[in-house]
Amino acid sequence: MVHGAERVHTRRLTFSGNYATGGEAITASTFGLRRISRLVLHNGVAASADLATSNPVAYNSGTGKIAFYESGASGAATAEKTNAEAYPTGSFLDVSAFGSR
């Protein structure tokens, strides 16, 4: 899709294995782009395959990484997931990347 002078590519990202502190690196090549000017995270959460659990997510354009968050206590602010912590089974996130080819 074209949006003004930019291309827009939408993908479903599926996460497996363990989380790395600082987040998951997202590259322009994942979307067939040379550069990402904006990454839109649909729904703001990465849901498990069965939709029973999810983690809030945020994109850090400075590092090019998607960070995952969770809360260990009711009413507590969410904190970044810890290093080497497993993702919920089939954790996925729909995203749209805006950029140039």
Per residue in 8-63, pLDDT (tens digit) is: 999 999 999 999 999 999 999 999 999 999 999 999 999 999 999 999 999 999 99
Report the candidate in 85, 84, 74, 87 with the shortest Cα–Cα distance to residue 13.
Answer: 87
Indicate the domain borders of the chain.
Answer: 2-100
49, 42 contact by CB (below 8 A):
no
Q: Kindly report the pTM of this predicted structure.
A: 0.87
Per residue in 57-84, pLDDT (tens digit) is: 999 999 999 999 998 777 788 899 999 9
CA 55 – CA 32 distance, rounded (Å): 27
